[in-house]
């Protein structure tokens, strides 16, 4: 049972007194951290495009409005390679960072990739956080599930779909999500395999809440 279900809907948020705490993403993340006995949170972000340092700095400027992150550099655009690197990192990271096991922390189950397409979608988005209509824009990043494995019984369902990075399955192990939605809302929501299946949309669709 999640922390959200154990809190009465009549308890109001200290962050937003006009909102019940169970509906406040940051309150829910705080409870999750207490449940996991962790002190560090946030997505790990892999940069895999180095074509423009200026664009990257602009991306980081927008990123800071909505994220807390750890950035790692890797010179590959292949999702499978990034997933394997993340698996190795996550195997020991929680003990080093938290002094405890990973528990159900999102930080050690999923990571973010910023490739050339994602970078362009965010940097060349004409609106910035706070601008009218910002939430309707589609600047996105890639969310990669660490524990994804191809499912043999899924292969035929999408036989008429275009392969994504050579994969013709429904679930390709990563998805696109708007960078505004992915933190804190999606971070608060995705803590298990079932959460992944609920949120997942096959690329090129973009999850935006």
pLDDT value, residue 66: 59
| pLDDT of 1 | 37
pLDDT above 70 for 114: yes
* Interatomic CA distance for residues 60 and 143, integer angstroms: 17
36-82 per-position pLDDT tens digit: 999 999 999 999 989 999 999 988 888 766 555 677 777 777 899 99
- What percent of the chain stands above pLDDT 70? 83
* Res 124 pLDDT > 90: no
Q: For 194-202, what is the mean pLDDT?
A: 96
Measured between alpha carbons, how far is 25 from 33 in angstroms, rounded to an integer? 12
Within the chain, where are the H helices? 3-6, 25-36, 53-63, 79-98, 116-123, 187-189, 193-199
pLDDT, averaged across the chain: 86
Q: Using pLDDT thresholds of 50, 70 and 90, give the confidence band for residue 138.
A: confident
Phi, psi of 169 (to 5 degrees): -75, 165
pLDDT at site 62: 80
């Amino acid at each position: 049972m999640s922390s959200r279900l154990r809190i009465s809907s009549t308890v109001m948020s200290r962050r937003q007194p006009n909102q019940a705490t169970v509906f406040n993403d940051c309150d829910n993340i705080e409870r999750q951290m207490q449940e996991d006995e962790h002190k560090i949170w946030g997505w790990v972000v892999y940069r895999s495009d180095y074509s423009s340092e200026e664009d990257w700095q602009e991306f980081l400027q927008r990123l800071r409005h909505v994220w807390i992150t750890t950035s790692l550099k890797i010179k590959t655009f292949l999702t499978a390679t990034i997933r394997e690197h993340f698996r190795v990192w996550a195997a020991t990271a929680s003990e080093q960072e938290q002094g405890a096991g990973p528990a159900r922390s999102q930080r050690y189950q999923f990571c973010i990739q910023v490739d050339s397409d994602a970078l362009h979608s965010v940097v060349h988005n004409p609106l910035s956080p706070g601008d009218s209509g910002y939430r309707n824009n589609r600047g996105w990043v890639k969310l990669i599930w660490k524990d994804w494995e191809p499912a043999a019984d899924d292969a035929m369902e999408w036989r008429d779909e275009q392969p994504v990075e050579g994969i013709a399955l429904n679930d390709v192990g990563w998805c696109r999500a708007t960078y505004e939605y992915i933190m804190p809302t999606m971070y608060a929501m995705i803590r298990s395999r079932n959460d992944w299946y609920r949120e997942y949309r096959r690329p090129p669709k973009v999850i935006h809440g």
